[in-house]
Amino acid sequence: MIPANIDDYRLLAKKRLPKYLFEYIDGGAFSETTLRNNTADLQKIALRQRVLRDISSVDTSCQLFGQDWKLPVVLAPVGIAGLNARRGEVLAAQAAEEKGVPFCLSTVSACSIEEVRNGVQNPIWFQLYMIKDRGFMSAMLERAKAQGTDTLLFTVDMPVPSTRYRDIRSGLSGGSMFRRQSARFIQSAMSPAWAWDVGVMGRPHTLGNIAPVLGDNAGIDEFWAWLNQNFDASVTWKTLEMIRANWKGKLIIKGILDPEDAKEAAKLGADAVIVSNHGGRQLDGALSSIQALPAIADAVQGDIKILMDSGVRSGLDIVRAIALGADAVMIGRPWVYGLAAAKKKGVLDVLNILENEMRVAMALAGCTNLAAVNKSILA
């Protein structure tokens, strides 16, 4: 199959990856109602088609935090994304740089921030959780600063891990260690291309940024144990004030679904919020991100930047989100599907697909730049 859209890359990723990795990327919390609504609610938004306008030149560029980007798209942080292809996060960061969009590395990446930074020309964004090990947090912030990172995403919607049934069934989590490891071994053996690329040629296998804590020989089971033990359910806005005081760069609060929380983020001194339900992976039954976006945009009234993630699967979705108040969108699953299917080229292909779809949607709605994309283009 020659992939034509994001769904095609999803199918290619499913064919290539062992089941436990694909289900981890693709799944959501509990019954996955919010996961489904994220995409369905975006697709329900109709655009107004306009005709006989000069659309011979369409400009998709945007500016975020004083820097020009070719698309209003950010590659979102995705945990252990680097396991989907050999040195995967490095490849994704390189693709983002070539395309002229930001790349954000997860705290729980497979490749360390130093490795990823060494693979690109310019500093990357970095995402951090509030975890109990404050020493690790402080050290991680210093490592990010040392690599020239100026933009920090602070994820606030994961004070406790949610339940993801697909991960239990696939052997990624839950059950005895023997059953988990046996399931993962069998699934890996059934995916020989992935096993050779990542399992054999992708050595050394470490746990990226948390390898200094767990050691180089730790595996996925130790990774999940550490993560589950270190989520901090006591985090409050007061805690974030400490982060804001110690981080002089741009601060983005990720995981906002309520207008009052968006106002609190602005009051704190955040530079942006990300309207997000964690891709439907936390509170199942929560609002889809696109449903939450308009009220949040009205609440902050342009005081801070607004990004949105969760459910974006096409360039039309990007246009819809910007029309409803987002300054840019973040994509997680789409770029990981591309990475899993075709490595760096797959990530570039995904970005090119989104750009082409976005250009067509803007042109047929009569918009030649992002400033013209607003609620007036919605039916």
CB 370 within 8 A of CB 59: yes
List, in order of start, the domains of the chain with CATH numbers: 6-374 (3.20.20.70)
Distances in whole angstroms, Cα of residue 26 to Cα of each of 257, 310, 348: 21, 12, 20
**Phi, psi for 159 (deg, rounded to 5):** -70, -25
Residue type at 104 in one-letter notation: C
CB 280 within 8 A of CB 35: yes
CA–CA distance, 227 with 132 (Å, rounded to integer): 10
In this structure, the number of other CB atoms found within 10 A of the CB of residue 249 comes to 17
The answer on whether 333 is annotated among ligand-binding residues is yes
The answer on whether 54 is annotated among ligand-binding residues is no
CA–CA distance, 348 with 77 (Å, rounded to integer): 17
The low-confidence residues of the chain, meaning pLDDT below 50, are none
pLDDT value, residue 160: 85
The answer on whether 31 is annotated among ligand-binding residues is no
If you search the block for the tokens 């020309």, which residue do you land on? 121
CB 132 within 8 A of CB 232: yes
pLDDT value, residue 216: 66
CA–CA distance, 59 with 211 (Å, rounded to integer): 43
The answer on whether 309 is annotated among ligand-binding residues is yes
Q: Are strands 62-64 and 151-155 parallel, antiparallel or unpaired?
A: unpaired
**Phi, psi for 119 (deg, rounded to 5):** -90, -5
pLDDT value, residue 207: 78
pLDDT value, residue 82: 92
Structure tokens at 87: 């040195």
CA–CA distance, 217 with 11 (Å, rounded to integer): 32
Catalytic positions are: 278
333-364 and 88-99 helices cross at what angle (nearest 10)? 20
In this structure, the number of other CB atoms found within 10 A of the CB of residue 153 comes to 27
pLDDT value, residue 217: 67
**For residue 204, is the peptide bond before it cis, meaning its omega torsion is within 30 degrees of 0?**
yes
The answer on whether 311 is annotated among ligand-binding residues is yes
Based on its alpha-carbon atoms, the radius of gyration of the chain, rounded to whole angstroms, reads 20
The answer on whether 155 is annotated among ligand-binding residues is yes
pLDDT value, residue 74: 98
315-323 and 289-300 helices cross at what angle (nearest 10)? 30
Report if pTM > 0.85: yes
Report helix, strand or coil for 272: strand
CB 145 within 8 A of CB 211: no
